[in-house]
């Protein structure tokens, strides 16, 4: 689930309390970060938002960046946790893939503000912490890779072994695009149409004719 949560230092001893308070922090921060951006949001606002004093807030984190890590981590695991259970590798690879795409794209639509936030604020993280985010994204990519691989083995898809990761990235980015290009896409297409069209053209590329 969460990758880095446990690695952020805190001066509070009670592990359970840390868990609770950090959830409160994240809940308050996500909202503000997404609306105003990381830099424009102040510690004071975050603390105020859920009725905690600034001093106490600092008992649960070391720096403002820690909050950003918590938030990025939270967003990532939210997406992943929502995608994973609805994805299944069945015998009908085409159906599996279509289903995975639809699920993922719908979740992106729902969480589009979060997705855009990740695109924009990842760079505010230190090198070390950015790696966690990338890793998490690679995990997601692997979900699609697995479906593709399975389809190739079954003979439903025809993709050069070496290009499977690339294809997986394409599928993901074409979903995320729905969020970060919404100014163009959501003016001209409905989500349903978008999913349908993109699915079709993805399948066209890989189906073994």
* Backbone region of residue 51 per phi and psi (left: phi > 0; alpha: psi in -120 to 50; beta: other values): left
The yes or no reply on residue 126 touching DNA (CB under 7 A) is: no
Residue number with CB closer to DNA (7 or 92): 7
Q: Candidates 51-59, 61-69, 97-105, 112-120 — which segment interacts with a second copy by CB under 8 A? A: 112-120
Give backbone dihedrals phi and psi of 40, rounded to 5 degrees, phi first.
Answer: -80, -10
Considering only 38-46, 124-132, 142-150, 189-197, which stretch makes contact with DNA by CB under 7 A? 38-46
Cα–Cα dist 70/113, whole Å: 17
For position 197 contacting a second copy by CB under 8 A, the verdict is yes
If the CB atoms of residues 9 and 188 are measured against a second copy, the closer one turns out to be 188
Among 1, 6, 9, 13, contact with DNA (rule: CB under 7 A): 13
Exposed e or buried b per residue across 167-205, where buried means at least 16 C-beta atoms within 10 angstroms of its C-beta:
bbebbbebbbbbbbeeeeeeeeeebeebbeebbeebbee
Query: What are the φ/ψ torsions at residue 111 (nearest 5 degrees)?
Result: -105, 30
Cα gap 205→209, rounded to integer Å:
10
What's the farthest any 2 CA atoms get from each other in the chain? 64
Least distance to a second copy, CB of residue 173, Å:
5
Measured distance CA(192)–CA(48) in Å, rounded: 40
Nearer to DNA by Cβ, of 28 and 115: the residue is 28
Considering only residues 84-103, where is the footprint of a second copy by CB under 8 A?
none
Choose which of 85, 123, 128, 190 interacts with a second copy (CB under 8 A). 123
Cβ atoms of 141 and 165 within 8 Å: the answer is yes
* By CB under 8 A, residue 137 contacts a second copy: yes
Q: Using CB under 8 A, pick the residue from 2, 4, 77, 124 that binds a second copy.
A: 124
Residues forming contacts to a second copy in the complex (CB under 8 A) are: 37, 39, 116, 119-124, 134, 137-138, 141, 163, 165-167, 169-170, 173-174, 177, 180-181, 183-185, 188-189, 194, 197-198, 201, 204-205
């Amino acid at each position: 689930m969460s990758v880095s949560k446990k690695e952020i230092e805190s001066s509070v001893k009670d592990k359970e309390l840390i868990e609770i308070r950090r959830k409160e922090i994240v809940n308050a921060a996500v909202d503000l970060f997404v609306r105003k951006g990381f830099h424009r949001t102040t510690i004071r606002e975050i603390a105020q938002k859920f009725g905690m004093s600034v001093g106490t807030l600092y008992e649960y984190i070391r720096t403002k960046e820690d909050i950003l890590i918590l938030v990025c981590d939270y967003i990532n695991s939210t997406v992943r946790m929502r995608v994973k259970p609805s994805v299944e590798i069945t015998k009908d690879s085409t159906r599996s893939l279509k289903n995975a795409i639809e699920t993922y794209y719908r979740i992106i639509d729902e969480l589009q503000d979060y997705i855009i936030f990740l695109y924009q604020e990842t760079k505010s993280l230190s090198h070390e912490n950015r790696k966690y985010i990338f890793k998490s994204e690679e995990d997601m990519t692997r979900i699609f890779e697995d479906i593709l691989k399975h389809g190739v083995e079954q003979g439903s898809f025809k993709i050069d072994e070496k290009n499977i990761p690339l294809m997986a990235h394409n599928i993901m980015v074409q979903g995320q695009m729905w969020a970060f290009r919404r100014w163009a896409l959501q003016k001209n297409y409905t989500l349903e149409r978008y999913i349908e069209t993109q699915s079709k053209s993805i399948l066209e590329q890989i189906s073994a004719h």
